[in-house]
Structure 1
Amino acid sequence: MQEIINYVEDIKKRNHSSASALLIMKDNKVVLEHYNGFHSNVSHSQPVSETSQFNVASARKSYLGLAIAYALYEGKINSLDDYAIEYFEEFDKELLEKTTLRHLVTHSHGLHEKEDGTIFREFEPGQSWAYRGINVLMMTKLIRKLYQKSFPELIKERVFQPLGFRETDWYTKPNDNLVQVIDQPEKVATYKLGKSMDGLESNLHASTREFALWGNLHLNKGLVNGKQIVPQKVIELAIQVQNPFYLDDQLPHNGLFWYVQDQPRLKSEVGERVPKGSFQILGITGPTILVIPKYNLVVAKMYNKRYNYGGANYLHYLREFSNLVADTFKQTHEGNGNNSGRQIHKRNG
């Protein structure tokens, strides 16, 4: 596993992140924890530790995805193939024509928003794939409408409280456990906080441990310590392929916002050597959860640098990392590797 640590640290250095963390769970046990660096890029900053809470940026989509899965399971959403206009009456009917909820949750909707708030169409729904923020905001607002509460409130009640999570939350005020985000290497890192805790902003922070446990909840389809915390069907809705058929078979495939490996695809953020059935979520500041059910494995890694993987190369680095993890644990799975048990690394500097 040292190769995985080396890779994480190499990315930290080349992308000017001041903080890194890595946690690996195998067979529901923590087998490696690694923490390095500081909460900010200024002198005398607090060292990274197991209680450090990183801004997970758009990885918050996986939490929203579970709320959407609940809405489907409980009949508040009839079907992902419902037309979006049935739920978003305030939108232009012609603009949303033929757009379904399935398109919205799999980035195949084709909608985009200008700086002045004007919404326009880039491509016809289901014809391509593009990561945009508008669908996340739309589905966030829909959950509030359906449940009369925000998706963070729903997930806290249904998941965080039963699991005893104390280090995952949407923050509006700074505290000593929060890792600050570096926008540019030459500028001082800042707290990424929101004005509210309603899920509309990227102010979700999580410790590396609870981030990994979130992945492990999905790995085990809602079963934790013999208790079904989340109905199995809810988890399955979130992590199975949900996108429409694409003419371009190299486009990423998605569940409810998770990237899902059904077969290797060149434009996917999951590497070609990662086994079928694996799934991943990531954020712009570097947080990533990779779940490989075939190896009963969860890997959570954290950074605090915006555009951590850099423009056009980000796919290469993400795929390379997931391939490295898959290669490492394939050896263990086949009985040829050496997994010597839990390792804890804490290194600052």
Structure 2
Amino acid sequence: MLPSFKGNNNFSLILNHVNQTFNQVICSGAAVYVIHNDSIVLEEYIGKHSNKPNARKVQKDTQFHVASVRKSYIGFAVAYAVYYGYIQSMDDQVLKYLPELEEAIWKDTTIRHLLTHTHGLNHRAETVFREYPVGQNWTYRQVGIDALTKIVKTTTGKSVSDINHELVFTPLGFSESNWYAHKHQKLVEVILSGEGDGNWKTPESIEGDKMNMYVSARELAFWGYLHLKQGIIDGKQIVPKEIIQLATSVHSPRNIDKDLPQNGFLWFVKELPAKKSEIGERVPKGSYQILGYTGVTLLVIPQENLVAVRMFNSFGSPEGYDYLSDVRSFGDTIMSCL
């Protein structure tokens, strides 16, 4: 059974933090959802789906564009492929699975490098190029994500979306987590900085390989809760625990600078103290987090048996707003409530 609501005023500081961010970024709607000790202790919805007259209010079934938070679902699909042997090792070279790629560019790049943002590749238009030697630094680039989704489809015969629906969405009855080719009334509009929503294009692919995933606050929290509980819901092993453990353990190359972010299967994981970590200083070791450019954050803190979600329909950071400082502060505020 998924958690039920038991409000707790101890978490009011988190709502205050989300309201402060809501007033700093360019958005029309927000939500916050916190599960602690197997109960929903905070659930609040703020604003509307857009700035248009008579726009729908943000509510329980409102789905936010999660941007890069989708990478936790991609990481899950890769963990599935590794666990079931479709991918033999995360240290296999990418070229083993995608031999059509240019060997001179992709040589020595492994699946581990893609999962931990240490592959050193970037692209301009349709051309992939190398920014730095493989495994020597950390950069957040789309080219690695594109390769991972192709590897999943090539090895398993299933899309990222197929795997998530089969293992999680269908068994748990999720109806507010999906990739969409077309908008509908439950999807918020993404508020661009003074440009209106008309420039925001929705890709047509619904295979989980594009940035068109929308999720409600409650289902994003339940997604985190499934990870917190190592795949067990209501006493039933919904997902093999090894898939969850693969996804949320640190897999960054050992020789990487220790002050760079540490990653599992695309999740940010709190392991060693790291100056460039995107997780709050007070958040304990073993916690993991995923972020989106729309302001969406999912933080799982196993040591405190806690999952926290905040959602906005903003896009990017307006002048004067420090996104990374704010998201670290979100985690630290949670810790101050415990």
Q: Aligning the two structures, in what range does the TM-score lie when normalised by the shorter sequence?
A: over 0.9
Q: Secondary structure at the match of 2:170?
A: helix
- One-letter amino acid of the structure 1 residue matched with residue 293 of structure 2: I
Give me the whole-angstrom Cα distance separating, in 2, the residues matched to 1:71 and 1:125.
Answer: 23
Find out whether 1:111 has 2:121 as its counterpart. Answer: yes
Find out whether 1:21 has 2:28 as its counterpart. Answer: no
Find out whether 1:226 has 2:235 as its counterpart. Answer: yes
Change in Cα spacing, 1:312 to 1:50, as seen in structure 2 (3 Å) is closer
Find out whether 1:52 has 2:62 as its counterpart. Answer: yes
Equivalences for residues 276-315 of structure 1 within 5 A: 276-308=285-317, 313-315=322-324
Give me the whole-angstrom Cα distance separating, in 2, the residues matched to 1:282 and 1:4.
Answer: 17
Report the counterpart of residue 38 of structure 1 in structure 2.
48
Equivalences for residues 268-283 of structure 1 within 5 A: 268-283=277-292
Q: Secondary structure at the match of 2:215?
A: strand
Q: In 1, are the aligned partners of 2:193 and 2:318 still within 8 Å (CA)?
A: no
Please give the per-residue CA displacement for 1:68-117, whole angstroms capped at 9, x wherever unaligned. 111111111111111111111011112111111100110000000012x1
Q: In 1, are the aligned partners of 2:221 and 2:309 still within 8 Å (CA)?
A: yes
- Aligned-pair identity (%): 42
Q: Which runs of 5+ in 1 are unaligned?
A: 330-349
Q: In 2, are the aligned partners of 1:40 and 1:189 still within 8 Å (CA)?
A: no
Give me the whole-angstrom Cα distance separating, in 2, the residues matched to 1:185 and 1:36.
Answer: 21
Q: In 2, are the aligned partners of 1:128 and 1:246 still within 8 Å (CA)?
A: no
Report the counterpart of residue 77 of structure 2 in structure 1.
67
Report the counterpart of residue 86 of structure 1 in structure 2.
96
1:102 to 97, 112, 118: 112
Q: Which runs of 5+ in 2 are unaligned?
A: 1-10
Find out whether 1:76 has 2:86 as its counterpart. Answer: yes
1:232 to partner: Cα distance: 0.5
Please give the per-residue CA displacement for 1:273-292, whole angstroms capped at 9, x wherever unaligned. 11000000011101110000
Report the counterpart of residue 147 of structure 1 in structure 2.
156
Give me the whole-angstrom Cα distance separating, in 2, the residues matched to 1:327 and 1:40.
Answer: 32
Report the counterpart of residue 206 of structure 1 in structure 2.
215
Q: In 2, are the aligned partners of 1:24 and 1:299 still within 8 Å (CA)?
A: yes
Give me the whole-angstrom Cα distance separating, in 2, the residues matched to 1:292 and 1:75.
Answer: 29
What is the TM-score with the length of structure 1 in the denominator? 0.91
Q: In 1, are the aligned partners of 2:67 and 2:292 still within 8 Å (CA)?
A: yes
1:6 to partner: Cα distance: 1.1
Q: In 2, are the aligned partners of 1:265 and 1:272 still within 8 Å (CA)?
A: no
Please identify, of 224-233 and 86-95, the stretch whose mean Cα deviation from structure 2 is larger: 86-95
Change in Cα spacing, 1:195 to 1:7, as seen in structure 2 (3 Å) is same
1:137 to partner: Cα distance: 0.7
Give me the whole-angstrom Cα distance separating, in 2, the residues matched to 1:188 and 1:156.
Answer: 29
1:135 to 144, 150, 160: 144
Q: Secondary structure at the match of 1:31?
A: strand
- One-letter amino acid of the structure 1 residue matched with residue 327 of structure 2: L
CA-based RMSD of the aligned residues comes to 1.5
Give me the whole-angstrom Cα distance separating, in 2, the residues matched to 1:328 and 1:290.
Answer: 15
Please give the per-residue CA displacement for 1:12-31, whole angstroms capped at 9, x wherever unaligned. 11112111100000122211
1:159 to partner: Cα distance: 0.9
Report the counterpart of residue 249 of structure 1 in structure 2.
258
The aligned length equals: 328
Q: Secondary structure at the match of 2:95?
A: helix
Change in Cα spacing, 1:309 to 1:25, as seen in structure 2 (3 Å) is farther
Find out whether 1:163 has 2:172 as its counterpart. Answer: yes
